[in-house]
Amino acid sequence: MSLCSSIKMYALSIFVLFSVSSNANTAEEKQPMSKPKVIIFDVNETLLDLAPLKVSVGKAMDGREDLLPLWFSTMLHYSLVDTLTEEYHDFGQIGAAALMMLAQSNNIELSLEQAREAIVNTITKLPAHPDVKPALKTLSDQGFYIVSLTNSSNAGVAAQFEHTGLTSFFKHRFSVEDVKAFKPARKTYEWVLKELNVNASDVLMVAAHPWDLAGAKAVGLQTAFVRRSGTSLYPLAQSPDYQVNDLHELINVLAKLK
């Protein structure tokens, strides 16, 4: 066989090899997920509307409602600082501290008590998004085991669910307060799996926050991204298994799974 023929045969072999590999990957990607047995819901923003918090934070910050996103991201930032340094303060404490930091950097006079009132008194009285209660009822009636996992304290989420009338839909409420590690730390999701005694592949994490889904995906959970208030996905993280505009769409997606 000539050198030219050998090169052609080698090139053909490489082409076939990559074609088979590509087709196999495509088939694997298109393979539907199995229907989850357990659904874990994030709480703040995923289930509850943060709009009243925007008003209370804006009022505390001399009318600067535009500072809510920065306050929320600052609070998340320092919750991770706590986790990485193995310290723990509850979300209310970190939220008030973050608001104090923003006030100082924007030359706004704000006492610690005013900061706590703006956050703690409001976050426990947030309303549920309109789709939440009917969707939870449907999912519960369909036999899904529904739990929540929040960065808020145990007392905080209990008050939130009581205020919104959501308590009865949840078999269990998990708070990072018990594991002392804020989401998206891997150990938090692993702890929930251990408590529930289930395999990661049988569990679906539902959240409006890409960072939350990144943590869940890292330990093997199925993930569903709910688009609330224009949130977008982090392009460097693994893509969520499902993307929906509300929980009614999530029900339709789950109905197609076996």
**Based on the structure, what is the number of domains in the chain?**
2
Are 167 and 193 part of one and the same domain? yes
In a domain, 23, yes or no: no
In a domain, 197, yes or no: yes
Are 104 and 222 part of one and the same domain? no
In a domain, 33, yes or no: no
27 — pLDDT class (breaks 50, 70, 90): very low
Of 77, 98, 123, which residue sits at a domain end? Answer: 123
In a domain, 166, yes or no: yes
pLDDT surpassing 80 at residue 44: yes
Q: Give the model confidence (pLDDT) of 160-215 as tens digits.
A: 999 999 999 999 999 999 999 999 999 999 999 999 999 999 999 999 999 999 99
Are 170 and 79 part of one and the same domain? no
Are 148 and 249 part of one and the same domain? yes
Are 131 and 108 part of one and the same domain? no
Are 233 and 158 part of one and the same domain? yes
The residue range of the domain holding 57 is 51-123
Contacts (Cβ under 8 Å, ≥6 apart) of 258: 32, 34, 35
pLDDT surpassing 80 at residue 245: yes
Give the residue-averaged pLDDT of 224-228: 96
Residue 21's pLDDT is 36
Cis, peptide link before residue 52, omega less than 30° from 0: no
223 — pLDDT class (breaks 50, 70, 90): very high
In a domain, 223, yes or no: yes
Q: Give the model confidence (pLDDT) of 56-70 as tens digits.
A: 999 999 999 888 889
Q: Give the model confidence (pLDDT) of 122-174 as tens digits.
A: 999 999 999 999 999 999 999 999 999 999 999 999 999 999 999 999 999 99
| Separation CA 177–CA 167 (nearest Å) | 19
Of 105, 123, 141, which residue sits at a domain end? Answer: 123
Residue 32's pLDDT is 60
Handedness of CA 245, 250, 252, 258 (dihedral sign): positive
In a domain, 18, yes or no: no
Are 212 and 115 part of one and the same domain? no
- Number of Cα atoms under 13 Å in the Cβ half of residue 84: 7
| Separation CA 250–CA 228 (nearest Å) | 13
In a domain, 26, yes or no: no
In a domain, 158, yes or no: yes
Are 70 and 141 part of one and the same domain? no
Contacts (Cβ under 8 Å, ≥6 apart) of 41: 47, 146, 147, 148, 149, 170, 206, 207
pLDDT surpassing 90 at residue 83: yes
Are 45 and 67 part of one and the same domain? no
- The CATH number of the domain where 85 resides is what? 1.10.150.240
Per the model's pLDDT, the better-predicted residue between 249 and 1 turns out to be: 249
Q: Mean pLDDT across the chain, nearest whole number?
A: 88
Residue 232's pLDDT is 86
Long-range contacts of 60-69 (CB under 8 A, 24+ apart): 60/99, 60/103, 60/110, 60/114, 60/115, 60/117, 60/118, 61/99, 61/102, 61/103, 61/106, 61/108, 61/110, 62/108, 64/106, 64/108, 67/102, 67/106
Are 176 and 119 part of one and the same domain? no
pLDDT surpassing 80 at residue 22: no
- The CATH number of the domain where 243 resides is what? 3.40.50.1000
Are 106 and 211 part of one and the same domain? no
Q: Dump the DSSP string for 177-208.
A: GGTT--TT-HHHHHHHHHHHT--GGGEEEEES
Of 98, 123, 148, which residue sits at a domain end? Answer: 123
Are 191 and 211 part of one and the same domain? yes
